[in-house]
Chain A
Amino acid sequence: MFKKSQFIIFLVLILILFAFSIQGQKKTIVKYWLWLDDPTDPMFPDLVKQFNSLNPDIQVEYELIPLSQYYDKLVNAVGAGVAPDCARFKDWWLGAFVDANALEPLDSYLKNWNGYKDVVSNLWNTGKISAKSPVYMMPHQFITFYLYYRRDWFKEKNLPPPTDLSKFLEAAKKLTDPSKNRYGFGLRGGSGGQDQWLAFLVAQGARLVDRNGKVIADSPEAILANQWYIDLYRVHKVAPPSAPTDAYAQVLGAFQAGITAMMAHHVGSSVLVTQKLGEENVGVVPMPPSDPKKPATMVTMSGNVILSGSKNKEAAFKFISWLTEKEQMDKWSRSRQGQLPVLKSVASLPYYRNNIFFKVSLDQAKYAISWPPLPGVGYISAQLWQSLMQRALLGEITSKEMMEEIANALRKK
């Protein structure tokens, strides 16, 4: 069964493998982690090549990690003391990582960065943990939530575009017909649905924290706003029965298949949606508020951070700030990975102004609100919200109980 020759082949292979793993390097190596939406897109590898040839003394080595495991792997790496120098990062995670001193404050680097003023000023807040804190995450690509609606269906029923929440609910009810497997709104109760949910909360004027950073997620306004959202499913039944576990793929699929009439999402799905349904049939409005004078929506930012354990912070900053410069930003935003550019100079280019989806999204940036950067948000967005929302949608807990649990998690140090 085990011959000598096989054993020798085995030894030789081991030696060869060792030889591969030993390589000399003199350059400053910057390790960068990221996730990408589409691994076949050459945009990012090209950018890295370009950076490396522009900076012969720095060698950026990147690691592409599936998003579903990204957070776990980063936690593991920090815990084991082998974190990368810099990494792509979500605003949801800031609280937990800053609380653990795992991120480097960037203020001293940003002083000398000449793109600072070009970034939409409201968006710097997404990289801080309070109004006075230093910036920990360099804003890069973001999205704001707006509302898609089926223009053809609205026309058919003679409905006005859903520009505020009462029109939204009215239309949702009229367009729901379970016998035809049609529903007014694609509610997302499954993984990742917390952003859509928060957009509807803030659009009703509710907030999770007030201006001073005090948690008010269990205030009567917030409980009522959450009740309104739950009622879409439980009382008005304008969402598909599968809503409690529907995640992005299901919500998008249902909208594309002509099962739902409205979907709250962002520019990331605009190409897929129009491709499938035809541009003429897809309308878009800013996130409908309950009071048209007080518009609000939700922004989530993916930016770049430097890990505090890094020994090459200068070089790491050079790379992440280079990624945030105009040309690279434009390239990224136009790619298949593309989200909204944080730079005013990029956002004002005709490419973005002439695209209705980009335009609506970018116009919302001024008043968009992000998750409060508290340590508990990582847990809420990764797990807690989902199980609470699902139980609320199934009628196991009340809106009040749900919001109290959210508030507790936010208050937890």
Chain B
Amino acid sequence: MLSERNSYFNKWEKRVLPFLLLLPAFTLIIGIVAYPIIRAIYLSFHSFNPLKPSIFKFVGLENYIRVLNDPIFIIALKNSIIWIVGVVFFQFLGGLLGAIILKQNFKGRAFVRGLSLIPWVTPSVLIAIMWIWMLDGNYGIINDILLKLGLISRYIPWLAQKDTSLPAVMIADIWRGIPFFAIMLLAAMEAIPDELYEAARIDGANSFMIFLNITWPLILPTVIITTMLRIIWTANHMDLVLIMTDGGPGFSSLIIPLMSYHTAYKQLNFGYGSTIAILQGVFLVIIISLYLRLLRKGESIY
């Protein structure tokens, strides 16, 4: 009798419970985001100005054909790739170093760990205008310091030059995102049992060997997931670019979400704006699936 109930319960746990556990998440996601996303996809086949809701014209694939032939989209795509790869790579590198430093035992560690969040918690509007100010070509502190160190011979308008505007915004974004990586990787490192380290030390391994053979493989799943999430996040967050250069000068720091925003809200062409965003979404889906597939060989993620 008891065992019968147990087997029934076991079946329930195996077949129903996993879906039940997912239910709240899916209720939220489908209830809130599904409609807006479907609507965006729907809009991308139409010509639509939100000020004139009555004129809503089906244009078929016109927007998609147009976007693939749009030279500005190609520029934005190129910038987006530089933006995503550069930002995420350096955030990861900085975050890894930060996590290793914060993992050590030292006086005032809790305090330092708290302070490490600062770039992350500072509202982006302030980060943007502060970096604009620091990078200013006439009275910015960065120019002043570089000049005093003799690294430059005259003030450089970092945000006003074609070649430096995107890298300048990237530096601000890298600074902002490093603590995110640092905290995630720190958490992963803290989850590694001390016994493993002790055993390695007894075997006479040096710090570098320990990192390579114990820490790295064990934090790898977190590295992979965090990097992937950061790629998606970085691809779509344009707040710093918007305030710091608004894509300029010219199109030199224009990235795809910003182009989509300009098209939708400044040109009032929501159809085309949606198309641009959806195309980036499609690219992202492809890249992320490839990324996961490549990495799944080594470690099963899902």
Which of chain B's residues 263-283 have a Cβ closer than 8 Å to chain A? 265-268
Q: Any chain B CB within 8 A of the CB of A240?
A: yes
Most B Cβ at <10 Å: residue of A102, A189, A379? A379
State the Cβ distance, A92 to closest chain B Cβ, in Å: 11
- A250–B138 contact, CB under 8 A? yes
Contacts A242-B160, A387-B247, A391-B250; A79 near B53 (Cβ below 8 A): yes
B268 partner residues in chain A, CB cutoff 8 A: 75, 96, 378-379
Q: Any chain B CB within 8 A of the CB of A393?
A: yes
Q: Any chain B CB within 8 A of the CB of A46?
A: no
State the Cβ distance, B117 to closest chain A Cβ, in Å: 22
- A259–B50 contact, CB under 8 A? no
Q: Any chain B CB within 8 A of the CB of A269?
A: no
CA of A243 to CA of B161, assembled, Å: 10
- B165–A245 contact, CB under 8 A? yes
CA of A99 to CA of B248, assembled, Å: 29
A243 partner residues in chain B, CB cutoff 8 A: 157, 160
* Main secondary structure on B side of the interface with A: loop
Most A Cβ at <10 Å: residue of B156, B160, B246, B251? B160
CA of A243 to CA of B49, assembled, Å: 34
- A245–B138 contact, CB under 8 A? no
B161 partner residues in chain A, CB cutoff 8 A: 241, 244
State the Cβ distance, B241 to closest chain A Cβ, in Å: 12
State the Cβ distance, A18 to closest chain B Cβ, in Å: 19
B136 partner residues in chain A, CB cutoff 8 A: 242, 250, 253
Q: Any chain B CB within 8 A of the CB of A218?
A: no
Q: Any chain B CB within 8 A of the CB of A72?
A: yes
Which of chain A's residues 196-216 have a Cβ closer than 8 Å to chain B? none
- B157–A245 contact, CB under 8 A? yes
Which of chain A's residues 80-139 have a Cβ closer than 8 Å to chain B? 81, 96-97, 99-102
State the Cβ distance, A235 to closest chain B Cβ, in Å: 17
CA of A237 to CA of B165, assembled, Å: 20
State the Cβ distance, A253 to closest chain B Cβ, in Å: 7
Q: Any chain B CB within 8 A of the CB of A181?
A: yes
State the Cβ distance, B181 to closest chain A Cβ, in Å: 26
Which of chain B's residues 148-165 have a Cβ closer than 8 Å to chain A? 154-157, 159-162, 165
State the Cβ distance, B257 to closest chain A Cβ, in Å: 14
Which of chain A's residues 279-312 have a Cβ closer than 8 Å to chain B? none
- A257–B139 contact, CB under 8 A? yes
Q: Any chain A CB within 8 A of the CB of B47?
A: no
- Chain A interface residue bracket vs B: 35 or more
A249 partner residues in chain B, CB cutoff 8 A: 132
- A382–B266 contact, CB under 8 A? yes
- A78–B50 contact, CB under 8 A? yes
Contacts A240-B157, A244-B249, A245-B159; A100 near B49 (Cβ below 8 A): yes
- Chain B interface residue bracket vs A: 20 to 34
Most B Cβ at <10 Å: residue of A100, A101, A249, A254? A100
- A244–B51 contact, CB under 8 A? no
- A387–B51 contact, CB under 8 A? no
Q: Any chain A CB within 8 A of the CB of B52?
A: yes
Closest to B154 in A: A178
State the Cβ distance, A371 to closest chain B Cβ, in Å: 15
CA of A170 to CA of B7, assembled, Å: 95
Q: Any chain B CB within 8 A of the CB of A28?
A: no
Most A Cβ at <10 Å: residue of B243, B262, B268? B268
- B138–A254 contact, CB under 8 A? yes
Of A72, A79, A81, A244, the contact of B248 (CB 8 Å cutoff): A244
Q: Any chain A CB within 8 A of the CB of B245?
A: yes
Q: Any chain A CB within 8 A of the CB of B137?
A: yes
Top-3 shortest CB links A-B: A79-B50, A242-B137, A242-B157
Q: Which residues of A contact B (CB under 8 A)?
A: 68, 71-72, 75-76, 78-79, 81, 96-97, 99-102, 178, 181, 189-191, 240-246, 249-250, 253-254, 257, 259, 378-379, 382-384, 386-387, 390-391, 393-394, 396
Pull 29 A–B residue pairs with CB atoms less than 8 Å apart, ordered by A: A72-B265, A75-B265, A79-B53, A99-B51, A99-B52, A100-B51, A178-B154, A240-B137, A240-B138, A241-B161, A243-B157, A243-B160, A244-B161, A244-B248, A245-B165, A245-B249, A253-B138, A259-B139, A379-B266, A379-B267, A383-B246, A386-B246, A387-B247, A387-B250, A387-B251, A391-B249, A391-B250, A393-B249, A394-B162
